[in-house]
Amino acid sequence: MPPHGLLRFFACLLLALPALAFAAERTPKPFIVIDKPGQCVEAAEIMRREHPDMLKHQRDRTMREGIRTRKYSLKECVECHAGAKTASVIGEKGFCQSCHDYASVRLDCFGCHASKPKLASGAKP
């Protein structure tokens, strides 16, 4: 970097510092787009904290006992939360993956489970 470029960089940094310090949203937030607004199966706070337990509980009941209620099923999550553009819950801006990337929690559901609703996966361009 030429010396004047370096100078300019530090000047910018100095100017930007107060703005950064007083900005209301300093921490980065995950990119969450909800294309179908409305009530999820539980309140958002409960969903944020407890969705892994709900899914795990449901998965055992469905897999082992054949109970196929739709309320806490992963298939229903995907049906509702798949992005309008990508028709998927994964990918950089996908509903599931964007938040899991942010929280640095590995998301392995979609190694096996479909990340797209049935209609969208069937109707490919």
Partner 1 sequence: MSADANEALSRRGFLAISAATLGGVMLAPGIRLIEIAGARAPEQAASKRVRWGLLIDTNKCAPGCDDCVKACATENGIRSTGHPRTDPQWIRKVELKDPRSGRAHSAPVMCQHCEHPPCVDVCPTGASFKRADGIVLVDRHTCIGCRYCIMACPYKARSIVFQEVTDQNPDVPRGKGCAEGCTLCVHRVDRDQQPACVEACAKAGHNAMIFGDLNDPQSEIARRVAKYASTQIRADLKLNPGVRYQGL
The least CB distance from residue 47 to partner 1, in Å, is 20
How far is the C-alpha of 90 from the C-alpha of 87, rounded, in Å?
9
Q: Which residue, 31 or 100, is less far from partner 1 as judged by CB?
A: 100
Interface with partner 1, residue 36, by CB under 8 A: no
Say whether residue 117 binds partner 1 (CB under 8 A).
Answer: yes
Give the type of residue at 124.
K
**Which residue matches tokens 């929280």?**
103
Q: Which two tokens stand for residue 118?
A: 């049935």
Q: Do residues 59 and 74 make contact, with C-beta atoms less than 8 angstroms apart?
A: yes
Pick the closer one to partner 1 by CB: 31 or 80.
80
Spatial contact of 1 and 9, defined as CB atoms under 8 Å apart: yes
- In the complex, the smallest distance separating the C-beta of residue 76 from partner 1, rounded to whole angstroms, is 10
The one segment of 33-41, 43-51, 58-66, 92-100 that binds partner 1 by CB under 8 A: 58-66
CB 96 within 8 Å of CB 102: no
Residues engaged in binding partner 1 (CB under 8 A):
59-61, 63-70, 75, 78, 111-114, 116-118, 121
